[in-house]
Structure 1
Amino acid sequence: MGWRVITKKGVNLSEIIPGSHVGNIQDYHRHRYKQGIPEGVKDLPPGVALPLESNLAYMNGISFTKGCYIGQELTARTHHVGVIRKRLLPVQFPAPLPTDSIPEGADIVTESGKSAGKFRFGGGELGIALLRLANVNEALYLNSGGDKVKLTARIPEWWPKTASK
């Protein structure tokens, strides 16, 4: 995800981190969406988002050796013996979509109309969706107010290689 640096005003960042450049918040969110990294309640709705489906174990956001936290037993059991069939994935649209036109939790379907997941949030032509891993390589469509908008999903490169199996 790059670096976040807090410095005194006027410090030259390239002296601290050679080859670095200063981005803005839109650059950050675009990069985050491309990597499939969730952040905040839009990407991780309270009471809806599950830690393993949200890839928090891949980001070392879950400890399986200490506790206690709400949902720890289910999360640990699923991790050790279960199969996670859905995960948050980066998605891309052919053209930028106004985010206010996409209802939260909009359905994503396969070409045949079978449910494949839910859109969480995004900006422009990028976003994050909770998708069934079995449908990642299929033609997918976002149901947005009666219109079907094509999208593509992909497994992020930073995931463990055994994760997509």
Structure 2
Amino acid sequence: MLVRAITAPGLRRWCRSQRGAATACFPLGRALLGVRGADAAVFLQGLLTNDVTQLVAAGNAPPALYAHALNVQGRCLYDVILYRLHGSTAEEPHILLECDSSVLDSIQKHLKLYKIRRKVTIAPCPDLSLWAVIPGEQPGDASSLPKCADPALLLTPDPRAEVMGWRLIAKKGANLSEIIPGSQVGDVQDYHRHRYKQGIPEGVKDLPPGVALPLESNLAFMNGISFTKGCYIGQELTARTHHMGVIRKRLLPVRFPEPLPGVPEGAEILTQEGKPAGKFRAGGGELGIALLRLAHANEPLYIQLGGDRVKLEATTPQWWPKAAAK
């Protein structure tokens, strides 16, 4: 087994520290892809928005990073979370890449296209399962996490935002109640509702490949980009937008007055005067996520559904940087 584990005593201490919050574990349909070899980090460095070399740096290397792979026009192709599986710089670099399962074949072809003579192997990890761990509605304290020890699983804070809890990687078929005592397996739809409530995009519905722009998708807010690393595919437009300091549209959480079945993806959102304000991306029930013009985000907004004008409200997530929320 390639993934390091949290010791059972450490997990029990962590669970006790979360007393009062019902810890829910959500099975995710995301795919896991292993990238292993001496050139693993250097190889991914030229393809992703974040500084992947952090994962192989000596000292306090982060256990996980969020990033996007962009096309040459600077638009999002894949949203990924990278996990460091090697224990030290003395070990062969081994990085696990989490992606939308519907693009697993596509991302493998994308990586192999740029592999050339790099000393890396790229292979799916069907023997592993991925879980989101969220302690109720309360954001967790990363300092309470137990430390990794022997080869069974990986539990790490979600690198995108504290409100998203943790990511757990375990053996397929592992008993969650043994790994995290007192936890309950939750409905994955509740996980997506939590994401939409917090305005966290994930997967191709929220981030349409070749359409979504990284900074409009709040990539910088979610710790998913380095503006000081070297070149990578799609960097030019992204860096220019950042240095101009003007982002007129952003992904925002939206809420309808009541649950609505089948809101079309890409449906136009209008102001009260009928001006275009943005587009609905995806959602579930009364919650969703939409790309909106910031100039109209605080106005009354509507969407046309079957001849009816349905009201919706956009909100600014509390986890955003305070300057961005103004």
TM-score under structure 1 length normalisation: 0.89
Greater mean deviation of Cα atoms: 3-12 or 85-94: 3-12
Cα distance change on mapping 1:47 and 1:145 into 2, 3 Å: farther
| Alignment size in residue pairs | 159
> Do residues 97 (structure 1) and 257 (structure 2) align?
no
Residue equivalent to 1:60: 223
Aligned match of 2:178: 11
Tell me how far apart the structure 1 counterparts of residues 305 and 210 of structure 2 sit (CA, whole Å).
Answer: 23
Q: Which residue pairs with 1:137 in the alignment?
A: 298
Specify the alignment match of 2:233 in structure 1: 70
Q: Is the 8 A contact 1:95 1:125 kept in 2?
A: yes
Shift of 1:140: 0.2
Equivalents in 2 of 1:107, 1:40: separation in Å?
20
1:158 maps to which residue? 319
Please give the per-residue CA displacement for 1:141-161, whole angstroms capped at 9, x wherever unaligned: 012243221000001001001
Larger radius of gyration: 2
Distance 1:67 1:153 in 2: 36
- Aligned to 2:191, the other structure's residue is in SS state helix
Tell me which residue corresponds to 1:34: 197
> How far is 1:3 from its partner?
2.0
Q: Cα deviations across residues 9-41 of structure 1 (Å, max 9, x unaligned)?
A: 1415247xxxx6542201110100000000111
1:110-149 correspondence to structure 2 within 5 Å: 110-149=271-310
* Structure 1: gaps spanning 5 or more residues: none
SS state of the match for residue 57, structure 1? coil
Q: Residues 97-126 of structure 1, C-alpha deviation per residue, up to 9 Å, x if partnerless?
A: 112xx2221000000001100000000000
Structure 1 residues 67 and 149: alpha-carbon distance in aligned structure 2, compared to 1, 3 A threshold: farther
Contact 1:56 1:62 survives alignment (8 Å): yes
Match of 2:128 in 1: none
What is the percentage of aligned positions where both structures have the same residue?
76
CA distance in 2 between partners of 1:14 and 1:106 (Å): 43
User: How far has the Cα of 1:56 moved from its partner?
Assistant: 0.8
Check conservation: 1:133, 1:164, Cα contact below 8 A.
no
TM-score by length of 2: 0.46
Distance (Å, rounded) in 2 between the aligned partners of 1:98 and 1:67: 45
The one-letter code of the counterpart of 1:107 is: E
Residue 324 of structure 2: SS of its match in structure 1? coil
| Structure 2: distance between partners of 1:110 and 1:143 | 11
Displaced runs of 4 or more, over 3 A: none
Structure 1 residue 68: deviation in Å? 2.7
Q: What does the per-residue CA deviation read over 1:42-90, in whole Å, with 9 as the maximum and x for residues that have no partner?
A: 1001111000000011111111111433321111121122310100000
Q: Give the gaps of 5 or more residues in structure 2.
A: 1-163
> Match of 1:164, as an amino acid?
A
Distance 2:288 2:187 in 1: 18
What residue is the counterpart of 2:63 in the other structure?
A: none
Q: Does 1:49 align with 2:212?
A: yes
Is the Cα contact below 8 Å between 1:38 and 1:44 reproduced in 2?
Answer: yes
